[in-house]
Every structure is written in structure tokens, then in C-alpha cells.
């Protein structure tokens, strides 16, 4: 099941729509940091900001590469047990896929980062139109506490 069916209709605790402009990734990261700090969840800051940066940057790049100008939207919802579900929705065609990367490559490791830091994650389509939602869940046990 795609979390978009539970995050969007049920009011998210946080949502932010923005144009797919690379310079706005920093602003999105700052807004998510404020959400975590306000909730006194310093234990989730590092993993959540790393993954948010990765997924938002990928959404912005996908939009820019396909001339998509629709807003990218970030939703966050606190889940049972204190986990945070973050979902990034864009309207660019295609879905992320695992790529082979060279040791000195500057990109291509995004899904590896998500697999390593998130407790759960996935990609959902928006139905028959273009676009997708990439989501991940982080919890205190996401890394190091297991």
C-alpha cells in the first residue's frame, strides 16, 4: 500500500509545496529540521535530513530533466511509536531505479542511502498520469540503535 493514501487524505503533520528549483532544497531541509526540533526528536535529525535531501533533490532533478514545472510536495506524518513518515511527490515521468555506480561517481547512491537509513521505504505511482511519490519512514532504530 502506498502511504500517500494515508498521508494526504488524513491531514499530514507537515506539508510544503515548492517549485522544482535546486536552490530550494536547502529551504525544504530547514523546514523539516524545524519539524524535528519542535517535536524534540534530535535522534531522527541526521537520517531524516539526509534522506529528505536525497529524495527532494532527485524529485527536483527529475522535474528539471523533463521540463516539469508542477510543484514538488513534501508531506510528513508522525506515526505510531514515534516514527516519521516522509513522502515527496513530483509530477516528472518515470520512477527511481537502482543504478550501478563507479567508486568515484558523484551520484547514483541515493537508493543505497535510503535502504541503509530508512526503516521502510518505497515508490508509488500517481495513477495513470505522470509522477510518483517516494516515501520513507525513519525511527530511532533506523541506524545504530538496532
CA distances from 28 to 20, 73, 85, 110, 145 (A): 11, 10, 15, 18, 27
82-111 residue pLDDT tens = 999 999 999 998 887 666 666 665 666 677
pLDDT on residue 142? 44
Strand partners for 75: 15, 87
CA distance 17 to 70: 9
Q: Could you tell me how many residues make up the chain?
A: 146
Residues in the chain predicted with pLDDT less than 50, given as ranges, are 6-7, 9, 142-146
pTM score of the predicted model: 0.85
What is the per-residue pLDDT for 125?
83
Assigned C-alpha cell, 86: 516522509
Amino acid at each position: 500500500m502506498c502511504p500517500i493514501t494515508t498521508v494526504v487524505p488524513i491531514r499530514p503533520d507537515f506539508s510544503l509545496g515548492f517549485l522544482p528549483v535546486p536552490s530550494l532544497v536547502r529551504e525544504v531541509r530547514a523546514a523539516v529540521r524545524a519539524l524535528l526540533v519542535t517535536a524534540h526528536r534530535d535522534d531522527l535529525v541526521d537520517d531524516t535530513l539526509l534522506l529528505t535531501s536525497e529524495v527532494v533533490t532527485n524529485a527536483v532533478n527529475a522535474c528539471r530533466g523533463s521540463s516539469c514545472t508542477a510543484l514538488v510536495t513534501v508531506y510528513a506524518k508522525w506515526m505510531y511509536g514515534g516514527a516519521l513518515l516522509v513522502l515527496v511527490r513530483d509530477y516528472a515521468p518515470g520512477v527511481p531505479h537502482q543504478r550501478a555506480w563507479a567508486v568515484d561517481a558523484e551520484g547514483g547512491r541515493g537508493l543505497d542511502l535510503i535502504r541503509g537509513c530508512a526503516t521502510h521505504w518505497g515508490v508509488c505511482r500517481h495513477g495513470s498520469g505522470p509522477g510518483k511519490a517516494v516515501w520513507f519512514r525513519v525511527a530511532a532504530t533506523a541506524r545504530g540503535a538496532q
